[in-house]
Amino acid sequence: MYDTILVGTDGSSNANRAIVHALEQAEQSDADLHGIFVVDTSRFDDPALGTGELTTNAIEEQGQGYLEDIRNRAEDLGVEFVGRCCHGRPHEEIVSYADEIDADVIVLGYQGRSHTKTDTIGSVTDRVVRTAGRPTFVV
């Protein structure tokens, strides 16, 4: 069914549900799983050695941890995993990476960590769905 699956994470509970689904699909399809964590530089960057840079570094370390968790879970299932941690606008980076790896499907949580309204889709997920030009599964 799938050869290449991309899952996005921000460490939220919705992202974890997306990871579970992506792992299940990868295992069933014998697909490669790619994970992406994006440090949103529009929210956190400022001049070098400022508090924004320190925050960005801390968030990047968190993201690396999230990707390592996916890697461990994938290994347990015998699923090949590639993780990418990058900086930029999350929806743009997710779509760009999906294009780069020619993902068969993108799997995302319904809302991310920063979303405050429980009855609406998160802005990153919404933008990816609208711009990806490929199947996107929202969990």
List the pLDDT tens digit at each of the 139 positions of the chain: 899 999 999 999 999 999 999 999 999 999 999 999 999 987 755 555 555 566 778 899 999 999 999 999 999 999 999 999 999 999 999 999 999 999 999 999 998 766 566 678 999 999 999 999 999 999 9
Helices (H), 8-122: 13-29, 41-44, 51-77, 90-101
What pLDDT sits at residue 1? 86
Predicted TM-score (pTM) of this structure: 0.90
CATH placement of domain 4-100+129-138? 3.40.50.620
Helix (H, G, I), strand (E, B) or coil at 39: strand
Q: Which residues contact 33 (CB under 8 A, 6 or more apart)?
A: 5, 6, 7, 22, 23, 26, 70, 74, 79, 80, 81, 82
Query: How buried is residue 53: exposed, middle or buried, by Cβ count under 10 Å (0-12/13-18/19+)?
Result: middle
What pLDDT sits at residue 117? 66
What pLDDT sits at residue 23? 98
What pLDDT sits at residue 42? 79
